[in-house]
Structure 1
Amino acid sequence: MYTKANLAALRVKKDIAELSQHRLNATHASTSIDFPDGTRNLLKLKVGVSMTAGLFEGATFYFILTIPPSYPFHAPTVVCTSRAWHPNIDLHTGLVSLPILTKDWRPVLSINTVVFALQLMFIEPTEHYAVNKPAAAALSSNPDLFREQVRRSLAGGSLFGVQFESHRLAGVADGKGGGHGAAKRKRGFGESMDTEAVQTTLEAMRIQVRRR
């Protein structure tokens, strides 16, 4: 007889099979997926999100997805194990706050959807559903300050007494090295990242959910 955990694991296997065939990928983002506990625990995934352009270019962030036994009727819990300066990532616990993980979750959604949402989180940062209030305030009222804060965090600096690990070569914090000159510092959050295609994909996902 199957337990809830067994059924959740079966659904995870199905999700992973779909990921291997048709993984949703935002432009200039890539992902890696692993089971840190091996095949004995399919309800815990490690996801790496690497950005190749945009504000977080050159950075890789790792997340632990904990799948509840009631999956897919309840969403995974997502924790970022890499310290990140982002409105939707708790600076101290790493807990990720996104509507898709709470009020907008539906059983038709999948791990593929969650991974895609994590990519979009770095492509188009938003102050909505913020758990890092200082980051959200900077993004909302002073985007240039937010850009500088992100650059400082990725270069291994500190913000509000919190030390970050370096994702980039030395000199990035002042706009030198790594190809991040003044022109790139002025780039908008979604510029050159095929935002229209991203939004089209999101809308298609919303339509699918409504139809189900």
Structure 2
Amino acid sequence: MYTKANLAALRVKKDIAELSQHRLNATHASTSIDFPDGTRNLLKLKVGVSMTAGLFEGATFYFILTIPPSYPFHAPTVVCTSRAWHPNIDLHTGLVSLPILTKDWRPVLSINTVVFALQLMFIEPTEHYAVNKPAAAALSSNPDLFREQVRRSLAGGSLFGVQFESHRLGGTADGKGGGHGAAKRKRGFGESMDTEAVQTTLEAMRIQLRGR
């Protein structure tokens, strides 16, 4: 008999298949996805978002998506493990605040939708649903100041007493999330979960989704 966690993992497998087809991929952003715990735990994803244009051009930010056993009826929790100067990312905890992760979540949405939202968050930052109030205030009242704050953060400067890691000259700004390695090959969830298929999908994708 399947548990809720098993059923949620099955849904995640479906979402990953959609991601491999480049659905909902934003222009000017590329995305990588790994399973830090290997295929034995499909309810924890590490997502890397690399920006190729815009205010955050050249930067890569990493996120941990923790998917509840009740998924897709409840949204994942998303934490940014790279320190980022952004209105919707808590400067101290890394918690991401987006309506799609709370009041606007619907069971028809998916991991694919969340990844797309993370891409758009950097392409078109907004002061709405802000958890970094100084960043939101600058973006709303003085966009030039916000632009300078972002530039300083990406260059490894400090803002409001907080030190940022450089995204320049090859810096990864991987933060407390650790290295961005390949998904571990581990069994889990039993043969009915078709673990080999998941591993094959991960190897084929890795997942490098290029913006078009």
CA distance in 2, matches of 1:90, 1:27: 25
CA distance in 2, matches of 1:22, 1:131: 30
CA distance in 1, matches of 2:181, 2:4: 52
8 Å contact from structure 1 (residues 153, 166) kept in 2:
yes
Deviation at 1:17, TM superposition (A): 1.0
CA distance in 1, matches of 2:101, 2:206: 14
Distance 1:79-1:28 versus aligned 2 partners, 3 A rule: same
TM-score after normalising by structure 2: 0.80
8 Å contact from structure 2 (residues 26, 119) kept in 1:
yes
Q: Partner of 1:104 in structure 2?
A: 104
Deviation at 1:23, TM superposition (A): 2.8
Q: Partner of 1:185 in structure 2?
A: 185
8 Å contact from structure 1 (residues 31, 50) kept in 2:
yes
Deviation at 1:186, TM superposition (A): 49
CA distance in 1, matches of 2:147, 2:64: 26
Give 3-state SS (helix, strand or coil) of 1:45's partner.
strand
Deviation at 1:183, TM superposition (A): 41
Deviation at 1:168, TM superposition (A): 1.3
Distance 1:182-1:108 versus aligned 2 partners, 3 A rule: closer
CA distance in 2, matches of 1:192, 1:146: 50
Deviation at 1:204, TM superposition (A): 29
Question: Following TM superposition, where does structure 1 have runs of at least 4 consecutive aligned residues deviating by more than 3 angstroms?
Answer: 169-212
Higher relative contact order (CA 8 A, sep 6+): 2
- The answer to which structure has the higher helix fraction is 1
Deviation at 1:194, TM superposition (A): 39
% same residue = 98
CA distance in 2, matches of 1:154, 1:59: 7
Deviation at 1:129, TM superposition (A): 0.1
Q: Partner of 2:25 in structure 1?
A: 25
Deviation at 1:21, TM superposition (A): 1.8
Give 3-state SS (helix, strand or coil) of 2:45's partner.
strand
User: C-alpha root-mean-square deviation of aligned residues, in Å?
Assistant: 13.4
8 Å contact from structure 2 (residues 38, 186) kept in 1:
no
- In structure 2, stretches of 5+ residues that fail to align are none
CA distance in 2, matches of 1:33, 1:201: 12
8 Å contact from structure 1 (residues 171, 177) kept in 2:
no
2:58 maps to 1:39: no
Distance 1:71-1:95 versus aligned 2 partners, 3 A rule: same
Deviation at 1:19, TM superposition (A): 1.0
Deviation at 1:22, TM superposition (A): 3.4
Structure 1 residues 56-77: Cα deviation after superposition (integer angstroms, max 9, x where no partner) = 0000000000000000000000
Give 3-state SS (helix, strand or coil) of 2:170's partner.
coil
Distance 1:123-1:201 versus aligned 2 partners, 3 A rule: farther
Query: Which deviates the most, 104-113 or 199-208?
Result: 199-208
Structure 1 residues 140-163: Cα deviation after superposition (integer angstroms, max 9, x where no partner) = 001000000000000000000100
8 Å contact from structure 1 (residues 54, 193) kept in 2:
no
TM-score after normalising by structure 1: 0.80
8 Å contact from structure 2 (residues 86, 132) kept in 1:
yes
Deviation at 1:24, TM superposition (A): 1.6
Distance 1:33-1:182 versus aligned 2 partners, 3 A rule: closer
Deviation at 1:18, TM superposition (A): 1.2
Distance 1:140-1:112 versus aligned 2 partners, 3 A rule: same
Distance 1:61-1:32 versus aligned 2 partners, 3 A rule: same
Structure 1 residues 83-115: Cα deviation after superposition (integer angstroms, max 9, x where no partner) = 000000000000000000000000000000000
